[in-house]
Amino acid sequence: MTGLSATTKATDHLEEALDAENADDKNFHIRQALQLIDAETSK
């Protein structure tokens, strides 16, 4: 993977979830973070 690591991207998504105004945005960022973590640990 080039650029930011999956862990860094997942952390960024979790930070976005904390800042999100509504549940849909929070849910989106948490799901994105979990997908990145899952993909990284499934290697």
- Measured CA angle at 1 (ends 28, 5), to 5 deg: 55
Residue 34 confidence class, pLDDT cut points 50, 70, 90: very high
Tracing tokens 């973590």 back to the chain, one arrives at 37
Whether pLDDT at 14 is above 50: yes
pLDDT at 4: 77
Return the percentage of the chain with pLDDT > 90, whole number. 77
Q: Where are the alpha helices (DSSP H) in 1-43?
A: 6-19, 23-41
pLDDT at 1: 43
Q: Which residue has the higher pLDDT, 23 or 42?
A: 23
